[in-house]
Amino acid sequence: MALFETTFPPYVPFGSRNLSLTSPPVTGTDVAVFQAVYNLMLRTMNPPLGPMGSPIAVDGIFGSTSRQAAINIQSYFGLNPDGIVGPNTFAVFGQYAGAYGGPTFGSRTLEPGMSGGDVTVLQNRLNLYRYAAILGGPATGSFDSRTGGAAFAFKQDAIANGQTGLTPNGVVGDGTFDALWLYTGAGGRGILPGRNGFDVVFLQVLLTRLGYYSGPITGYYDAATIAAVRAFQAARGITVDGQVGPVTFHQLGILNPFAAPQPLGLAWPTAPVAQVSVCSIGLTSQTGDLHPYGAAALVINQAEGFESVDVVGNFLPDPSTFGSQYGAYAFQLLSPTGTPAAQILMSALPTAAATGDWAGSYSPGVYDIAKGTVQVLPTPTGSATGPYGPPVLEGDLTQCH
């Protein structure tokens, strides 16, 4: 069982029951998710202390302060201020019963081979972060190998952020659902005119960071926010309709190389965090073909003094495209002075024959890896050191200092 579940038992799927003030009080992880996300929104919205009251204790107990928080949320978003967290209030949190045709997200364990609206929600939520490079496209509602890979990467980031008890695989169960509700800010429903909430808060923050929105962070999907979405859609060459669905979620994620547990640098008020950090950068095509893209992640274990670099390349052409002598890909890490600091052979992922996905990891077991340029290059089969073909992907890791 994951850390959140052992801290605030019992595990109850968020949105699966109404939360209200009772005797004895309602307890569980769903209450703790409500409390933690409420506190984050207070810190994120404008003004800084939030227009909905003061932070509350994250204890997993729905007491009088949680009821008042519910009233604050309901009053702010124009709902009936009865202090009961029901379907309309859960929708403000982006937990929308039966979204995309159902089943409701969190109501069943998700694993490869499954399909449904809850798979679409999972893909939407992951698609807003660095995992968009792994998913490779908008949500489809089908749990394929890419979805498993993205879920696995999310779990790794959650573990690096202090979560324990998550099984390192691509299956999405109880603890992973809690982590997704806590760490992923949107994707649980389409964002349309008339829908306001905390998922809109996340959207406004991301659009601000990308330079499309300059207004206050309100959580209202108002005319200014819709205009920002339309400008973003036009810039990305997708349908300009002012509605945020799977295609727009994916396009936002392509430009947001952050790990979900640290969205846009925001710190979530959950269980204690281990001294581990993850810095991700995007790798861009160095060829005439703009299809290749990827990401490099610097993982720093501050408590033990170790670092590692993980590199993924997506939609890479067959290495032999650059010459018959090339049969694989490698990445090299160059120091700021241009000296090779590491040269690592990459492995083709299981779907590489169809998609050209390759991955590699450099884990020397020491602190302070030289942080310079990351390049992905074609190389002879079995050779990490070349001779290389021309760089296919490149990115600057110095920003992770």
Residue 268 inside a domain? The answer is no
| Sheet strand arrangement including 306-314 | 340-345, 328-334, 373-379, 393-396, 276-285, 293-301, 306-314, 358-362, 347-348
Q: How far apart are CA 106 and CA 12, in angstroms?
A: 9
- What integer best gives the mean pLDDT of the chain? 87
DSSP annotation of 85 reads B
Shared-domain flag, residues 247 and 104:
yes
Q: What is the pLDDT of residue 51?
A: 74
Q: What is the pLDDT of residue 274?
A: 40
Shared-domain flag, residues 180 and 217:
yes
Backbone angles phi, psi at 202, to 5 degrees: -60, -45
Residue 263 inside a domain? The answer is no
CB atoms within 10 A of CB 243: 18
For 315: left if phi > 0, alpha if psi spans -120 to 50, otherwise beta; the answer is left
pLDDT for 124-176, tens place per residue? 999 999 999 999 999 999 999 999 999 999 998 888 877 778 888 899 999 99
Q: Which residue, chain included where needed, has tokens 């124009």?
A: 78
How many distinct structural domains can be found in the chain? 3
Shared-domain flag, residues 316 and 383:
yes
Q: What is the pLDDT of residue 401?
A: 58
Residues belonging to the chain: 401
Shared-domain flag, residues 300 and 243:
no
Shared-domain flag, residues 165 and 305:
no
Residue 204 inside a domain? The answer is yes
| Integer Rg of the chain from CA | 22
What tokens were used for 186? Answer: 């949107």
User: How much of the chain, in percent, has pLDDT values that exceed 70?
Assistant: 89
pLDDT for 303-339, tens place per residue? 555 678 888 888 889 999 999 999 999 999 998 888 8
Shared-domain flag, residues 231 and 285:
no
Shared-domain flag, residues 113 and 73:
no
Cα–Cα distances in Å, from 301 out to 7, 76, 283, 297?
Answer: 23, 41, 23, 13
Residue 270 inside a domain? The answer is no
Confidence of residue 370 (pLDDT cuts 50, 70, 90): confident
pLDDT for 251-298, tens place per residue? 999 998 888 876 544 443 333 334 456 677 778 889 877 678 888 878
Shared-domain flag, residues 285 and 229:
no
Shared-domain flag, residues 74 and 170:
no
What tokens were used for 1? Answer: 């069982």
Of 77-91, 267-281, 336-350, 373-387, the one with minimum mean pLDDT is 267-281
Average pLDDT for residues 21-49, to the nearest whole number?
Answer: 88
What tokens were used for 359? Answer: 């991955």
The CATH number of whichever domain residue 136 belongs to comes to 1.10.101.10
Shared-domain flag, residues 68 and 157:
no
